[in-house]
Structure 1
Amino acid sequence: MTRASREWRISLSEGELEAAWWGAPPEAAPSFVLLHEGLGCISLWRDLPAWLAGRTGFGVFAYSRLGYGKSGRNPAPWPLDYLRREAGWVLPRVLDAAEIRQAVLIGHSDGGSIAAIHAATQDDPRIAGLVLIAPHFLMEPQVLAGITAAREAYLESDFRVRLGRYHAHVDDAFWGWNRAWLDPAFARDFDLSGDLRNVSKPMLVIQGEDDPYGTAAQPEAAARLARAEVEVAMIPGARHAPHLEAPDRTRPLIAAFSERMLKRI
């Protein structure tokens, strides 16, 4: 990861979050806000923040959710509505703390679901559009199979050690996420169709064609249900992280879409 121009901690009543900024400050240019995946954190965006800042001239803000990266603890079990709590209660305060003025939300996997819920439930004029990378809107068999496989790898391989390089509280991060998604009530009730019908922000939905955690049904749901325009990009050969696995195909799409959205403000 190319080093951020600013690193600091955001203090919330729930705990402290690690935060980082690349490029232009929010008073000088629009911003990207990065919302990481279910086992992600700031570091696991790799070089994407620096690339976006250099390509567009916009600022890039990222934070690690509670329990992840170098943020404070968030012991399992997590409440089954943890995505909604993040979207409706935590994210607005984080955007305030980062002094975000005009932005595109970029959400990966869990972060994509959080971004969509935020757009559906919060009247937030700061947000011009959404880039959702491998988001989850609907429960599919692939989702549960992939998360079950991750649990077996965590217990039986060096996966825990590798994750521990990025997360100060690795068991919080893994078991909070894994046990929530594999809870029968979560699997039964997870459906963001109603939220999508309330999204009025333009969206770019990016899906790897070989994603083990979801299929084209996810972006198709957004295109069918959302109130705003939806662009869909299926990326050949990419799995669950097309922004890292197919950067030459994926990143220019993100930059071009975001520049169009932010010019509308």
Structure 2
Amino acid sequence: MESTARQFADAGGRPLHARVWTPAAPEQLRRRAPIVLLHDSLGAVELWRDFPALLCLQTQRTVIAYDRLGFGNSAAHPGRLGPGFIAEEAHASVLPLLDQLGLEQVILFGHSVGGGMAVAAATRLPDRVVALITESAQAFVEALTLQGIRAARDNFSDPAQLARLAKYHGNDPDRARWVLDAWIETWLAPNFADWSLDTDLERLHCPLLAMHGDGDEFGSALQPQRIAALAGARGGVAGHLMFEACGHVPHREKPALVLDAVQQFLDRHVPA
């Protein structure tokens, strides 16, 4: 397996950082649809840790992760996130990534808010996305989500916590503060209270798997249930899977179960 750093430009021409894991497999296998990872609200490529490499080895597919604008090693964000930032990611970053890296069709795998972005991108780029996997994604704003965010806000009042976050965002405390504020202020804002993925899920055409931990502090089982129900309402392939004794980061807490679930889903629903 080979891992290489890549750079591409978002829709505004700003440089974004990506990393690509390529399996040591025959050319025919390496031409299959790769998996693109979309990170969570505090995330970055490096915070996926060893999961992209494990996913590459498990599936024998190329895996790509990128830092959104303002995160990790990508360019700084020029302002604040607007209430439509989840839907906007499709054309702001996902489409430029696919075009500039020469990816005709992909599988999207989104964690937490990245799951919402993956749903929105799959809806807006139906010819480019052949399958969709969400992990710990929110489909709507529920009380548990807000409770978890408020608890995290209190936890990050400890300077040591912010310093740890900064390690993954250019070792820059100011950037880490922007990342944290972008998450907390956006989700707690009154104008975000009615946000949901309902319309996007109802328009989805590709197969979907929604994974969730039963102890997720940012969303109850209602989240994956709603994702699967709406995505499958018109007869499409959509299911959800709950992991027992698992919190918000199943790929770190239950990696073997996540990898097996992804492999089985792809074997069933994505042509080789």
Fold agreement, TM-score > 0.5: yes
Tell me which of 107, 112, 115 is aligned to 2:110.
107
1:137 maps to which residue? 139
Displacement, 1:71? 0.8
Equivalent residues of 1:10, 1:19 under 8 A apart: yes
Equivalent residues of 2:132, 2:208 under 8 A apart: yes
Matches within 5 A, 1:190-201: 190-201=195-206
Displacement, 1:101? 2.3
The aligned length equals 260
Displacement, 1:74? 1.1
Equivalent residues of 1:76, 1:176 under 8 A apart: no
Equivalent residues of 1:130, 1:201 under 8 A apart: yes
Q: Does 1:17 align with 2:41?
A: no
Q: Does 1:219 align with 2:217?
A: no
1:161 maps to which residue? 163
Equivalent residues of 2:209, 2:228 under 8 A apart: no
1:239 maps to which residue? 247
CA distance in 1, matches of 2:97, 2:178: 21
CA distance in 2, matches of 1:150, 1:236: 23
Equivalent residues of 1:102, 1:262 under 8 A apart: no
Matches within 5 A, 1:77-96: 77-96=80-99
CA distance in 2, matches of 1:106, 1:19: 15
Q: Work out the percentage of aligned pairs sharing the same amino acid.
A: 32
Q: What is the RMSD computed on CA atoms of the aligned residues?
A: 1.9
Equivalent residues of 1:106, 1:112 under 8 A apart: yes
Equivalent residues of 2:138, 2:223 under 8 A apart: yes
Supply the AA of the counterpart residue of 1:36.
H
Equivalent residues of 2:130, 2:270 under 8 A apart: yes
Gaps of 5+ in 2: none
Alignment partner of 2:156: what SS? helix
CA distance in 1, matches of 2:114, 2:13: 19
Structure 1 runs (4+) greater than 3 angstroms displaced: 24-27
CA distance in 2, matches of 1:158, 1:4: 34
1:87-140 deviation line (CA, Å, top 9, x unaligned): 2432111211121123210000011000111122x1432211111001111111
Matches within 5 A, 1:119-130: 119-120=122-123, 122-130=124-132
Gaps of 5+ in 1: none
Supply the AA of the counterpart residue of 2:229.
R
Alignment partner of 2:109: what SS? strand
Displacement, 1:75? 4.8
CA distance in 2, matches of 1:249, 1:255: 10
CA distance in 2, matches of 1:125, 1:75: 31
With normalisation by structure 2, the TM-score equals 0.90
